[in-house]
Amino acid sequence: MNGKPDPDELKELLQDDNSSDNYNINGKRPSLLPSGDGTSRGLEFLYDVPLQISVEVGRSKILLRDLLKMGEGYVIELDKLAGEPLDLYVNSRLIARGEAVMVGDKFGIKLTDVISTADRIENLG
Domains in the chain (CATH in brackets) are 17-48 (no CATH), 50-125 (2.30.330.10)
- Mark the ranges of the chain whose per-residue pLDDT is less than 70: 1-41, 125
Predicted TM-score (pTM) of the model is 0.59
pLDDT of residue 41: 64
pLDDT of residue 22: 46
pLDDT of residue 114: 94
pLDDT of residue 46: 85
pLDDT in tens, 95-115: 999 999 999 999 999 999 999
pLDDT of residue 121: 79
For residue 90, the cross-strand partners are 53, 93
- What are the residues whose beta carbons fall under 8 Å from the beta carbon of 109, sequence distance 6 or more? 55, 86, 88, 98, 99, 100, 101
Euclidean distance between CA atoms 63 and 86, whole angstroms: 25
pLDDT of residue 1: 46
Euclidean distance between CA atoms 59 and 87, whole angstroms: 11
